């Protein structure tokens, strides 16, 4: 019960921080908009649905890395020490994962909206595509939160963030591209179920690993 | 001598697998023909790699439970030699694929999964080198190693089984042994080869650990 209470407080704190430093979130939004706009200017129209789908996921991937990298990198040593005295490490990592998932969900839906607006959206099964986006954002958020925690402990953290997270994200990305291709083409929904199972399994595994390993990572 | 019997066993087993692998009779199968002998080299590389990666992750867990830097060195050296085995596995696999599947890198989920796994472990080495403080490096590397190993198992064992793969045992393809494509003759070479290569890997790993130990002694004497 105490843990849930702590998590609630920490999530509230994350939102408050985000609200006070609006430039960070605005920066990520601008990044998404400009990427989509650049794609629009360079492609104008994408006729092959497979390309449309792959490009969408690549935009989301880079937006995710940019948005979540800061989640631990922005915290200085003093503040981390402060959390350490106040909360259990499990509460800290879980609250960060939940907060980043919410952030990613908002970001990728926005990305889907603008992308569909500028480059013609020809998804046939929109509810399932949205489900795909939701699962993908949760997965990206949980992987990147833990990787950002690892990278924040090193000297050159931003480049390391990319190196450490790409191998973990690529298989997830491939699975996502495959299932969302099914919804773009409007194929039978039962085709995507096993892949959803795998995505959920990866998500659960990553969250469990993060909760188990984060207490070791945290101690200085 | 008493302590070194396994090194002799390693050399004997690997030599046996090479000689017997090229000389013994193998089943005659379409497409595969004589390339089936590559099983003794290609598949053994992956087996040895996975065994050594397991050793590495086991030592990482032990490091986190006691913070004894001895285990960290074992974990690091095991990853080093696993990467060598992995690269050899890729090389032999590409050679084999070239003759049976027509191209060295067919778009196969297992190949892509393994390429990503190699990226994982290269990233592990980069991560190690980017932290100066020894205790901290050991701790963070151990955490990443556990993370990477679990993901590696998911990506190379579970994901390829869900999609169509050219590899036997994946995506509805029957595994080796279901058709009588591996007969007992081949098993007589295949299993000793796995043990032999794993022992060779352990030997190289041990040399690496000793080198590391001597290095730290020399450095501490200098200061």
Q: Exposed/middle/buried for A188, CB within 10 Å: 0-12, 13-18, 19+?
A: exposed
Q: What pLDDT does B182 receive?
A: 62
Chain A neighbors of B112, CB-CB under 8 A: 174
Q: Do A150 and B143 touch (CB under 8 A)?
A: yes
- Residue B150 to chain A, least CA–CA distance (Å): 8
- Residue B76 to chain A, least CA–CA distance (Å): 17
**What's the rounded mean pLDDT across residues A125-140?**
89
Q: Exposed/middle/buried for A105, CB within 10 Å: 0-12, 13-18, 19+?
A: middle
- Residue A108 to chain B, least CA–CA distance (Å): 24
On the question of pLDDT at A135 being above 60, the answer is: yes
Q: Do B127 and A150 touch (CB under 8 A)?
A: yes
Q: What is the pLDDT of residues A13-68, one digit of tens each?
A: 888 888 888 888 888 889 999 999 998 899 878 878 888 889 999 999 988 988 88
Q: What pLDDT does A6 receive?
A: 84
Domain boundaries, chain B: 37-222
Q: What pLDDT does B178 receive?
A: 46
- Residuewise pLDDT in 10s, chain B (223 residues): 678 888 888 888 888 888 887 887 777 776 777 777 788 888 888 889 999 999 999 999 999 988 888 899 999 999 999 999 999 988 888 888 888 887 888 877 778 878 888 888 999 999 988 888 888 889 999 999 998 898 888 877 777 666 666 676 554 444 554 444 566 777 788 888 889 999 999 999 999 999 988 988 898 887 6
Q: What pLDDT does A48 receive?
A: 83
Domain boundaries, chain A: 2-218
Q: Do B127 and A216 touch (CB under 8 A)?
A: no
Q: What pLDDT does B181 receive?
A: 55
**What's the rounded mean pLDDT across residues A170-192?**
84
Q: Do B117 and A167 touch (CB under 8 A)?
A: yes
| pLDDT band at A137; cut points 50, 70, 90 | very high
Q: Do B159 and A171 touch (CB under 8 A)?
A: yes
Q: Would an 8 Å CB–CB cutoff place B8 in contact with chain A?
A: no
Token pair of A61, please?
């991937």
Q: What pLDDT does B166 receive?
A: 65
Q: Do B144 and A164 touch (CB under 8 A)?
A: yes
Q: Would an 8 Å CB–CB cutoff place B147 in contact with chain A?
A: yes
Chain B neighbors of A139, CB-CB under 8 A: none
Helix intervals (H) in chain A: 2-20, 22-43, 49-73, 77-86, 89-118, 126-151, 157-185, 193-218
Token pair of B127, please?
């991560």
Nearest residue in B to A143, CA atom: B147
Chain B neighbors of A160, CB-CB under 8 A: 126-127, 130
Give residues 113 to 142 of B whose Cβ lies within 8 Å of A: 113, 116-117, 119-120, 123, 126-127, 130-132, 136, 139-140, 142
- CA B91 – CA B152 distance, rounded (Å): 19
Token pair of B42, please?
């290609």
State the average pLDDT for chain A: 86
Give residues 173 to 202 of A whose Cβ lies within 8 Å of B: 174-175, 178, 194-195, 198, 201-202
Q: What is the 3-state secondary structure (H, E, C) of B131-188?
A: CCCHHHHHHHHHHHHHHHHHHHHHHHHHHHHHCCCCCCCCCCCCCCCCCCCCCHHHHH
Give which of B154, B165, B171 to mutate to test A binding, by max A Cβ within 10 Å: B154
Nearest residue in B to A207, CA atom: B147
Can you tell me the ipTM of this complex?
0.84
| pLDDT band at A105; cut points 50, 70, 90 | very high
């Amino acid at each position: 019960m105490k843990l849930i209470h702590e998590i609630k407080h920490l999530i509230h704190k994350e939102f408050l921080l985000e609200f006070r430093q609006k430039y960070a979130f605005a920066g990520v939004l601008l990044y998404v908009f400009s990427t989509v706009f650049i794609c629009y200017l360079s492609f104008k129209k994408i006729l092959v649905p497979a390309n449309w789908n792959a490009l969408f996921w690549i935009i989301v991937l880079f937006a995710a890395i940019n948005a979540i990298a800061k989640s631990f990198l922005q915290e200085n040593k003093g503040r981390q020490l402060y959390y350490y005295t106040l909360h259990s490490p499990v509460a800290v990592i879980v609250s960060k994962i939940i907060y980043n998932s919410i952030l990613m969900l908002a970001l990728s839906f926005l990305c889907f909206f603008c992308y569909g607006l500028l480059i013609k959206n020809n998804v046939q099964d929109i509810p399932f595509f949205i489900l795909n986006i939701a699962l993908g954002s949760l997965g990206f958020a949980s992987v990147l939160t833990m990787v950002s925690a690892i990278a924040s402990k090193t000297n050159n953290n931003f480049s390391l963030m990319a190196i450490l997270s790409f191998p973990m994200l690529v298989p997830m990305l491939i699975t996502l591209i495959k299932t969302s291709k099914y919804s773009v083409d409007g194929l039978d929904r039962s085709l995507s179920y096993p892949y959803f199972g795998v995505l959920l399994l990866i998500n659960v595994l990553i969250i469990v690993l993060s909760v188990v390993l984060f207490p070791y990572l945290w101690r200085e | 001598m008493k302590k070194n019997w396994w090194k002799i066993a390693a050399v004997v087993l690997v030599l046996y697998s090479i000689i017997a692998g090229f000389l013994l009779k193998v089943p005659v199968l379409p497409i595969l023909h004589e390339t089936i002998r590559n099983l003794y080299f290609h598949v053994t590389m992956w087996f040895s790699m996975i065994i050594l990666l397991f050793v590495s992750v086991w030592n990482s867990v032990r490091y986190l439970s006691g913070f004894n830097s001895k285990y960290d060195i074992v974990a690091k050296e095991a990853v080093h030699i696993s990467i060598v085995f992995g690269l050899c596995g890729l090389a032999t696999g590409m050679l084999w694929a070239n003759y049976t599947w027509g191209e060295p890198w067919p778009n196969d989920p297992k190949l892509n999964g393994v390429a990503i796994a190699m990226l994982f472990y290269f990233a592990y080495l980069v991560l190690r080198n980017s932290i100066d403080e020894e205790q901290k490096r050991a701790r963070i590397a151990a955490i990443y190693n556990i993370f990477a190993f679990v993901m590696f198992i998911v990506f190379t064992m579970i994901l390829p089984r869900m999609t169509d793969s050219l590899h036997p045992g994946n995506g509805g393809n029957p595994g080796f042994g279901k058709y009588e494509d591996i007969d007992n003759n081949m098993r007589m070479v295949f299993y000793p080869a796995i043990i032999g290569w794993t022992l060779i890997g352990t030997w190289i790993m041990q040399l690496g650990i000793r080198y590391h130990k001597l290095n730290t002694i020399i450095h501490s004497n200098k200061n």
